[in-house]
Structure 1
C-alpha cells in the first residue's frame, strides 16, 4: 500500500490537470499526425488517477500496489516534474513527503520486478530513470 497525503494529492491533482490539458491540446491540433511520443489515451490514464485523488480530497489516498497498474505508473512518474514546477510554493516538508512517496513507489516497483524475474527492457529503462530521480529528487540537497 502507498499512502498519498492530502498536500501531495493537491500537488498531483494540479499537475495532472495541466498534463491532461496539454495532451488534449496536442490531440486537437494534430488530427491523425501525432508526434511519436504522443498517445491519445494517456489523457484518460492520467484522468483516472486524478479522479481517484479527487475522490479522497482532504484525506489520505491509499493506492494498492499489489498489482502493476499503468495508471499508477504513468501518474507517479510525473511527481518529480510536478515538484520542479511548484518548487517555490512548496515547503521542505512537502518536498520531503513527495520524495518519500515517490521513493516508496519506485522501491515497490523494483521489488516486484525482481520477484517476478521480469526482463521487460522498457520497464527496466523506466525504473532506472525513476531510480535516478529518487537519487536527485528536486528541491533536496542531493550532494
Structure 2
C-alpha cells in the first residue's frame, strides 16, 4: 500500500476529505491538515507535507487549495520536491512521466471533485520514464 502525504488549506479541505475517503483501503495517508474550513495559512500545512516527501517518509504527496498555485509554490521551495499543478489527467500523467513529479497540486475552486479523483488516479498509476527525462530532472535543483 502506498504511503502518501496529503494537505490542504480551508479551500481544499472538503476535497481532501473526499480524496481520503475515495482511496481508503488503497492508500495510507498521512494527513497534515487542515482539519476544517476555517481560514488558515497554507504554508503551515504544505511545508510539513513536503518535508515528509523530501525525507522519504511518504512516497508521494497531494496538496489542495483554491487555485493550486499557493500550495505548489510553497512545496517547490523544497530542494527534492517536484510539485505539479494539474487540472486534467493528461497533465498529471506528463508530470510523472517526464518530470518525475512527486507531489501534485489540485485547484479545488476550478475543477469538480470527480475530476480531482481522475487526476490523482492518473498521477498514482503513471511511472517516471527516466532516460532523457532523468537528465533534465537532474538539472532542476539550483
* TM norm. shorter chain > 0.5: no
Structure showing the higher helix proportion among its residues: 1
Structure number with greater CO (CA < 8 Å, separation at least 6) is: 1
> TM-score scaled by structure 1?
0.27
